């Protein structure tokens, strides 16, 4: 699976858990998604 599919799965799981998730297009810091 590509990153898009992985991101969708992560978003679905964390959204179900009550998290707000945002993906970063800039991955220079090593974190490609952040929690709000």
Q: Is the pLDDT of residue 16 over 60?
A: yes
**Domain tally, the chain:** 1
Question: Which is more confidently placed, 23 or 17?
Answer: 17
Q: What range does the domain containing 14 cover?
A: 3-35
The C-alpha angle 8, 9, 13, rounded to 5 degrees, equals 115
- Residues 4-26, mean pLDDT to the nearest whole number: 74
d(CA 29, CA 36): 17
- Residues 9-35, mean pLDDT to the nearest whole number: 67
């Amino acid at each position: 699976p590509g990153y898009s599919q992985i991101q969708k799965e992560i978003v679905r799981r964390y959204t179900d858990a009550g998290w707000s998730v945002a993906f970063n297009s800039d991955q220079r810091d090593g974190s490609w998604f952040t929690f709000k």
